[in-house]
Structure 1
Amino acid sequence: MTDKKTEGKGPINICWLRRDLRLEDNAALYRALKTGKKTLLLFIFDKNILDKLEKDDPRVTFIYQTIEDIKSALQKNKSDLLVKYGKPEQVWPSILKEYQVNTVFANGDYEPYAKERDDGLAEYLSTEGVQFKSFKDQVVFEKDEILKSDQTPYTVFTPYYKQWQAKLNDFYKKPYPTKKYFKNFLETKPLEMPGLKDMGFEKSKLAFPKLNYKSKLADYGKKRDFPADDATTHISLHLRFGTVSIRQLVNDAIDAKASVWLSELAWREFYMMILWHFPYSAFHSFKKRYDNIKWINDEKHFKAWCEGKTGYPIVDAGMRQLNETGFMHNRVRMVVASFLTKHLLTDWRWGEQYFAEKLLDYEMASNVGGWQWAAGSGNDAAPYFRVFNPALQTKKFDPNLKYIKKWVPEVETENYPPPIIEHKFARERALKEYKSALNT
């Protein structure tokens, strides 16, 4: 192994950032620095992922800006972040030619593509005499850490959450003190990074939510269901890309006695655990009988849903909010998902994919879990005949139409279209189809 830029300085560690875009309280980075070996941080703009995105995808801009911030912080420490663009399986051989690497450290990811990518990398690195070490970071509990007494995974949230709470002690909440070991970053001159345009992307004009969630924790349980109040924390984008650690959020929730918000953090882990144990559920019904449903999949109805032109004001408000901001209030997400799958009898995978394209905070496990919950096909104890009534949801959660009028200003005027389907008819049709499918 010759022709190394680090030759004569001894082998180094590389810590590969993916969904953990921060220097503080980072499990893999802590483990890499603590070895005492010089450590170089790496980020790869992954073409396997980027090639499927639109040119103005705002998530790429968010990642890019975060990477710039990390580079700036490292440069103050006489180090830098190595940024590459390409397919990881092609990038890594070039990195090993450039650097003499002892061990690659990374935090684990639980999505199907990530698992396949990391398994392949570990196998490749072993042939090059390089170790690959993966750590738990984006969740408090992962994989087999929360199991039933018979050592099988939970498939219903409530009993899972009871054990999640019972097991949560100071060990699991303790942050990783990475700053103590910043002296072990590899000293290097500033490293160039590819520009957004070099990778075929444009800078997004969307505004990204700031990390100012603490002020909303006290009233979260009371106000979270009312979309006009904007009382949710908008933390999901930061959780998705790891600009804040789950341990910090759990500690903040406990300090604020925000029990409902804490349970939402646990829901996220529950869905990640489900995806890990039941990977088929990413693309098929968790309850396999639900794959018998004969979806109508009307293209015109789906287009009206996507554009927020269904004639159901709360549905249209949610979809327009999503299209314009990359965010949708959680209560409204349930309403629009129920409407697509039950009222329009459109395959939940169509909606899941649309959310995957539009949501800033898109995270496969939670999104699939939420859509299957709405469709009735997921790991939920509720019966399939739960069909949200958009009018009742409006009356309960947006009675003054404040949220609706913000996003659908033409509501209650002759310019607003009539409903594309009648509620009573749609509900009865959905129940009939579900009953027929589940009895076959």
Structure 2
Amino acid sequence: MPREFPLAIHWFRRDLRTLDNLALHHASKAAKGVIPVYVVSNWKDEHLWTGPNRQSFLCDSLASLDKNLQVIGGRLIIRSGNAVEALLGLAAETGAQAIFYNQDPDPFGKSTESHLEESCESRGIACRGYHDHTLHPPGEVLTQTGEPYRVFTPYSKNWLQLEKPAPVAKPKVLATPAEIASDNLPTLEHWNLNPAGEQILKAGERAAHDRLKRALKERLINYKDLRDIPSTPGTSRISQDLRFGLLSPRTVYAKTAKLLEEFPNQVGIQTFIKELAWREFYMAILHHYPHVLEDEFSPAWRGLPWDEPDEKFEAWKEGRTGFPIIDAGIRELLATGFMHNRVRMIVAMFLTKDLHIDWRLGEQFFMQHLTDGEIASNNGGWQWSAGTGADAAPYFRIQNPWSQTKRYDPKGTYIKRWVPELVDVPAKALLEAPKDGKPIAADYPLPCVDHKTERDRTLAIFKRHKQELGRATL
């Protein structure tokens, strides 16, 4: 069967895999030869929305991808700078007649795609984008009246009922021309960054599939019971793999659904599938309401008065608040580029409800340090904790760090792993604020605030804002 194009470009972005890659699959079917390319961003030094952990994982994933492409007759071409200019330049240089890519779920990526499509149209280059980052496009899961969901439960009921797309085949051969010039694979030096976390997970497609296999074999059966226990390996640990597209959501769902067939009505597996739906719910929120990156999702909470960041914010960022569960979470993040999801909620609510610091500052800090930093999920989680987001915790639901510790780390196992000053402290002393005015340990700080006092203040702030909003709408 004749191919549509002699030569096409596949633009890698957040789909750094050869298996079950929709755009790469279609490019290999439509063109005799495929040029795989990744365009490295040209920002330098600090960035508000990323940092060395994620960039290091990206670099290692690109190196792994290049090796995987070589097995099927391709090789990864690296260019840098403005993505549209780099892609058009590559097309002009090679005579490629088409550009294939998987669509980005974030506003900046969508804007780039629009520019690329317009530029390709004016040059007679075919430009084909595919929905690959979620199982269902945001416009596919809507209410009966065609409106986007604002609450998760009805969204998830609809999402669960929809037929899921099957994985697609890996290309057999790409036939990338050998003479095409390429920049070197990037390292942290490209962005003037130094390594941060010391225990970043192994990157690459094979490592991601190994993690998925481990989750399916060892973790999903007990997922519901163990996922909230930070001292236990009870979560899937594939979030960064979905973020960078080392795994496709189709593959993850298909393998999980097969496991559910083996263990029907197994609550742990069902709970994990709902977490996949949460991921897509937040991406749908970002798609339909992109203002959430700037403002509160709920109009009722816009304009809330937040405190100016001070020394308590600095203590929070360094893991020295005097609240063991908070400090353990931050130190895990700084050391590994990861923070357990239950702890993320506790840490985020502490910043917004105990320290009264704007959730946007916490959102930015997480994105700078998380290897799995996903804009939609991170924003959704922070606005949930702040009480301002879609289907968020009510403003009056304010988690107590001490009671959360008692519930999820009663023996202090997680805390002692990440806060060595507390290794010899009895577990009971980690479950409540010190009452004698003395620190829990000699070299550990006293709590930077009194939780009850700050809880009462938060309730008053939200109630006052609600009353003022009511008067303003009269």
After superposition, the Cα gap between the structure-2 partners of 1:199 and 1:386, relative to the gap in structure 1 and judged at 3 Å, is: closer
CA–CA separation in structure 2 for the residues paired with 1:266 and 1:160? 8
Q: Which moved more, 1:188-197 or 1:93-102?
A: 188-197
Aligned residue among 248, 255, 262 for 1:252? 255
Aligned residue among 165, 168, 180 for 1:173? 165
After superposition, the Cα gap between the structure-2 partners of 1:216 and 1:156, relative to the gap in structure 1 and judged at 3 Å, is: same
- 1:24-423 correspondence runs (5 A): 24-47=19-42, 52=47, 57-167=52-162, 169=163, 172-179=164-171, 182-188=172-178, 192-194=182-184, 195-196=186-187, 197-198=189-190, 200-202=192-194, 205-209=198-202, 210-211=207-208, 212=211, 213-214=215-216, 215-257=218-260, 258-380=269-391, 382-411=393-422, 412-423=440-451
CA–CA separation in structure 1 for the residues paired with 2:11 and 2:182? 17
CA–CA separation in structure 2 for the residues paired with 1:345 and 1:270? 27
CA contact (8 A) 2:79 2:182 kept: no
After superposition, the Cα gap between the structure-2 partners of 1:22 and 1:75, relative to the gap in structure 1 and judged at 3 Å, is: same
CA–CA separation in structure 2 for the residues paired with 1:33 and 1:96? 17
CA–CA separation in structure 1 for the residues paired with 2:190 and 2:372? 25
Report how far residue 403 of structure 1 moved.
0.4
Partner residue in 2 for 1:7: none
Partner residue in 2 for 1:21: 16
Report how far residue 48 of structure 1 moved.
5.0
Report how far residue 313 of structure 1 moved.
0.7
After superposition, the Cα gap between the structure-2 partners of 1:381 and 1:404, relative to the gap in structure 1 and judged at 3 Å, is: closer
Return the TM-score normalized by structure 1.
0.92
CA–CA separation in structure 2 for the residues paired with 1:255 and 1:397? 31
Q: Which moved more, 1:312-321 or 1:404-413?
A: 404-413
CA–CA separation in structure 2 for the residues paired with 1:64 and 1:276? 28
**3-state SS of 2:140 partner:** coil
Question: CA offsets, 1:191-229, max 9 Å, x none?
Answer: 543242355445665431543232221111110000011
Identity, in percent, stands at 36
Return the TM-score normalized by structure 2.
0.86
Report how far residue 190 of structure 1 moved.
8.0
CA–CA separation in structure 2 for the residues paired with 1:56 and 1:252? 32
CA–CA separation in structure 2 for the residues paired with 1:190 and 1:100? 11
Indicate the RMSD between aligned Cα atoms, in angstroms: 2.1
CA–CA separation in structure 2 for the residues paired with 1:438 and 1:407? 39
CA–CA separation in structure 2 for the residues paired with 1:320 and 1:88? 35
After superposition, the Cα gap between the structure-2 partners of 1:199 and 1:226, relative to the gap in structure 1 and judged at 3 Å, is: closer
CA contact (8 A) 1:139 1:269 kept: yes
CA–CA separation in structure 1 for the residues paired with 2:272 and 2:285? 20
CA–CA separation in structure 2 for the residues paired with 1:225 and 1:123? 47
CA–CA separation in structure 2 for the residues paired with 1:18 and 1:287? 31
CA contact (8 A) 1:78 1:187 kept: no
CA contact (8 A) 2:73 2:173 kept: no
Gaps spanning 5+ residues in structure 2: where? 261-268, 423-439, 469-474
CA contact (8 A) 1:85 1:199 kept: no
After superposition, the Cα gap between the structure-2 partners of 1:50 and 1:164, relative to the gap in structure 1 and judged at 3 Å, is: farther
CA contact (8 A) 1:55 1:200 kept: no
Question: CA offsets, 1:117-170, max 9 Å, x none?
Answer: 111111111111112111111100112100000100000000100000111x2x
